[in-house]
Amino acid sequence: MQHGKYRFIVGFLALPLGLYALFVVWPFIQSIYYSFTDWTGLSPEFKMVGLDNYRRMLDDEIFWKSLQHSLIFAVVLPLVTISLALFFAFMINVGGRRRRGGPVISGVRGSSFYKIVYFFPQVLSIAIVALLFAFAYNPDSGAINSILRGIGLDSIQPLWLGDPDLALWAVMAVLVWSTVGFFVVLFSAGMASIPADLYEAALLDGANRSTTFFRITLPLLWDTVQSGWVYMGILALGAESFAVVQIMTTGPGGPDYSTTVMVLYVYQKAFRDGQAAYATTIGVALLVVTLAFAALVMRLGRRERLEF
């Protein structure tokens, strides 16, 4: 009987695992292999160079800068985005005042409208969002500085993307803006499945909004938050951060390397400088960082799971 069970499971898993092995695991192995070569990416010839690429990477100042920025992305972005999304989702679903004759828990007035508004950036491709914000950040005629001028703050006209101290934060703000809506919807769905009687009981005991949030909503939503955290961190380390940095920033990656991130560096080394092998080396470093990040979040986030 046991034997039959495994055959049954294997039958279902073979195809997806095969595809996964072919399109994900195999390229990984290949990339790791290439990181030990001097392959340029422009000709089929290459030879093994041992650990040279790794030695070079450890001495590469720009690599360390990009690593540092990627880590800031991976820590700050999930923190800000998820906190904001939790707050918005809570206000939309639970945070409203009780209205006579209405349901026990409800969102603030106009919550269904807010829900759509928050989700709106999600339908725009990240490339379009980045372009729009690049216009908004234009110090000469962009929306932000025009508004500042409009309300009489003529003296405050930052260079935004042109200022090494501001550029990284300006880029991160765009990512927060464009992803927060997705998490609002995700958390809203999670909150909707928390039984209303738990809230009722809390309200009867005189709990206020913040108590309700920290004692009921957050613990029961923990799994979703944790998955969201990993997902957001991976976005911040990977594709999304590449898109905004590549499209918006000076250089790209500047000014003065203040916004360069690992994925951008991989791209530049592979496709601008014809050093594909070194690019895969940085790719391997990125893989290690990503795995470490996921492992860390899982470890820190582990707690008792509630069943209801």
Partner 1 sequence: MGSTSAEYDGTGGVGRRDLIKRSAALGLISVPTMSFLSACASSGGDDGGEKAKAGKKTAKNPLGVNETAGMEFVLFDGGFGKEYAQDAVKIYEKNFPEAKVKFSATQKIQSTLQPRFNQGTPPDLIDNSGAEQMDMGVLVGKNQLADLTPLLDAPSYDDPAKKVRDTLRPGIVEMGQFDGDPVWIMYYAYTVYGVWYSQKALDSLDEQYPETWDQMLAVCEKAKKKGMAGWTYAGKYPYYLPFSLYPMIAKVGGREVLDSIDNLEPNAWKHPAVKTCFEAYYELQQKGYVLKGTPGLDHIQSQTAWAQGKALFIPNGSWVENESANVIPKDFDLAVSAPTGIDSSDKMPFGTIWASGGEPFVVPAKAKNGTGGMEQLRIMLSEASSKNFTSKVKSLTAYNGGTDGITLTPGLKSGVAALDKAGENVVNPRIQDWYVQLQKEQIGVSGLGEMMAGRLTPAEAIKKIQGFADAAAKDTSIKHYKHQ
Q: Residues 83 to 122: which contact partner 1 by CB under 8 A?
A: none
By CB under 8 A, residue 256 contacts partner 1: yes
Q: Which of residues 268-287 bind partner 1 (CB under 8 A)?
A: 268, 270-276, 278-280, 283, 286-287
Near partner 1 by CB under 8 A: residue from 9, 30, 110, 292: 30
Which range, of 26-34, 87-95, 118-126, 203-211, touches partner 1 by CB under 8 A? 26-34
Question: Which of 36, 39, 73, 133 is the binder for partner 1 (CB under 8 A)?
Answer: 39
CB 266 to partner 1: min, Å: 6
Q: Which of 82, 89, 105, 230 binds partner 1 (CB under 8 A)?
A: 230
d(CA 168, CA 171): 5
Q: How many residues does the chain have?
A: 308
The residue from 5, 11, 43, 208 that contacts partner 1 (CB under 8 A) is: 43
Q: How far is the CB of 80 from partner 1 (least distance, A)?
A: 19
Query: Of the listed pieces 36-44, 99-107, 175-183, 208-216, which binds partner 1 according to CB under 8 A?
Result: 36-44
Are 85 and 184 in contact by the 8 Å Cβ rule? The answer is yes
The minimum distance between CB 165 and partner 1, in angstroms, equals 10
Q: Can residue 249 be called a binding residue for partner 1 (CB under 8 A)?
A: yes
Q: Measured at the alpha carbon of residue 128, what is the angle toward residues 126 and 129, in degrees to the nearest 5? A: 60
The site that binds partner 1 (CB under 8 A) totals a number of residues, namely: 79
Member of 145, 178, 179, 212 binding partner 1 (CB under 8 A): 145
Q: How far is CA 202 from CA 196, 216, 223, in A?
A: 10, 8, 22
Of 51-70, binders to partner 1 (CB under 8 A) are: 56
Q: How far is the CB of 43 from partner 1 (least distance, A)?
A: 4
Q: Pick between residue 92 and residue 236 the one whose CB is nearest to partner 1.
A: 236
Radius of gyration of the chain, Cα coordinates, nearest whole angstrom? 24
Task: Kindly give, in sequence order, each residue whose CB lies less than 8 Å from that of residue 220, ignoring residues fewer than 6 positions away.
Answer: 190, 194, 198, 306, 308
Which residue, 108 or 226, has its beta carbon nearer to partner 1? 226
Q: Which stretch binds partner 1 (CB under 8 A): 101-109, 119-127, 175-183, 218-226?
A: 218-226
Token readout for 191 is: 């909150």
193 binds partner 1 (CB under 8 A): yes
Question: Exposed, middle or buried by CB within 10 Å (0-12, 13-18, 19+), for 110?
Answer: exposed
Give me the 168-187 binding string for partner 1, x by CB under 8 A, dash otherwise: --------------------
Which whole-number Å values give the CA distances from 224 to 88, 190, 269, in the listed order? 15, 7, 37
**Which residues, other chains included, contact 51 with Cβ-Cβ below 8 Å and sequence gap of 6+?**
36
Please, which residues have CB within 8 angstroms of residue 250's CB and are 6 or more apart in sequence? 161, 162, 167, 259
Match 């795995």 to its residue by tokens. Answer: 291
- Give the whole-angstrom CA distance, residue 68 versus residue 62: 10
Alpha helices in 49-166 (DSSP H): 52-58, 61-93, 111-119, 126-136, 143-150
Q: Which stretch binds partner 1 (CB under 8 A): 97-105, 110-118, 120-128, 158-166?
A: 158-166
